[in-house]
Amino acid sequence: MARKEINKKIVLEDGSVYYGTGFGADVTKVCEIVFNTSMVGYQEIVSDPSYTYQMVVMTYPLIGNYGIADEDYETTHPTIGGLIVREYNDNPSNFRYTKTLSEILEENDIPGIEGIDTRKLTRSIRNLGSRKVLITDAETPMEECMNIINLCVLPTDAVKTVSCKKKWYSRTPSHKYSVVAVDCGIKLNIIRSLNKKGCNVTIVPYNTSAEEIEALRPDGIFLSNGPGNPENVPQVINLVQKLRVKYPICGICLGHQLISLAYGAKTYKLKFGHRGGNHPVKNLADGKIEITSQNHSYAVDADSLQCTGLEITHINLLDNTVEGVKCDKDMVFSVQ
């Protein structure tokens, strides 16, 4: 097999450099670098709105080998910052595939780079934490690279970027319940799962008012996953404060963090986040260990939950972070 041309590099804000071969969009971009340990599911990762403004290092060494299938998107317009892989395969072997991964990245202005020592890079993120990364041409001078990184301020409007702009519906035959889903970057599979449980779902923008939601007369409210710092989404925090007690409220991922903030708890940024499969989570109600898949940068501070009225229901056994809370009195619960 012919050796691939070294034409791209990534530069981290600490000055470390990794050279490789570009695929996807040929653009220069600065993002936050994170890693994901999943062995499968790169399409779901690429199309997950929670990765907005983030460049993801895939620890599994071979990416692209089963292409992209139309039925497997988590959003129709991927907003991931970029993709870093050990080996990219542009000749998929899968009867369901309709496009290659590189084609999808190019269509959505997302850069990719392969040939990187992803084990070394992942250890760097684990040891030093998530930080800014630049992807650019291999010959770009280092001084210019560092200037670009140092001058770049990562955006804080991620939820506004990915949330829908007006409400839309996902209905199911013979529905039992009507649910309003607040879109902070919702994954399509969550909507499909609610439909399978007999729920008609009305998806509304993150900044929808409490009065607008009440006018829809829902049986319950769902707060979705999404990107970024939960403290940057005060609209949803205020929404929970106005609607709790009135309706059952469930949150997942970012929604879990927003519910905790609405009750007066605090959140903090993890060193390198939780991304990928096989995270053991203990259900405190029955002591069972659940093996979970996760994707988040922020966690709820356990000590700050005291006197909030929220009870911890799940903990992560890798680092003891809060993985679930509930308030039976208010009909509120959430999982990370």
CA distance linking residue 314 with residue 322, whole number of Å = 6
Cα 233 from chain centroid (whole Å):
15
Instruction: Please provide the average confidence, as pLDDT, over all residues in the chain.
Output: 97
CA distances from 85 to 19, 148, 273, 301 (A): 12, 23, 19, 33
Sort residue 41 into left (φ over 0), alpha (ψ -120 to 50) or beta. left
Nearest to 16 by CA among 88, 152, 155, 116: 116
Residue 291 pLDDT grade (very low, low, confident, very high; cuts 50, 70, 90) = very high
Residue 89 pLDDT grade (very low, low, confident, very high; cuts 50, 70, 90) = very high
pLDDT score at 274: 97
CA distance linking residue 138 with residue 8, whole number of Å = 4
Say if residue 83's pLDDT is above 70: yes
SS3 5: coil
Query: What is the model's pTM?
Result: 0.95
Question: Which CATH number is associated with domain 159-335?
Answer: 3.40.50.880
Q: Which two tokens stand for residue 212?
A: 């607008």
Instruction: Give 30: exposed, middle or buried? Use CB within 10 Å, 0-12, 13-18, 19+.
Output: buried
Residue 2 pLDDT grade (very low, low, confident, very high; cuts 50, 70, 90) = low
Residue 277 pLDDT grade (very low, low, confident, very high; cuts 50, 70, 90) = confident
Nearest to 80 by CA among 105, 57, 52: 52
The one-letter amino acid at 103:
E
Q: At what angle do helices 234-243 and 254-262 cross, to 10 degrees?
A: 60
Residue 1 pLDDT grade (very low, low, confident, very high; cuts 50, 70, 90) = low
Residue 114 pLDDT grade (very low, low, confident, very high; cuts 50, 70, 90) = very high
Domain 8-154 has CATH 3.40.50.150: no
List the domain boundaries for the chain: 8-154, 159-335
Backbone φ, ψ for residue 285 (5° rounding): -75, -40
SS3 210: helix
Average pLDDT over residues 277-288: 95
SS3 73: coil
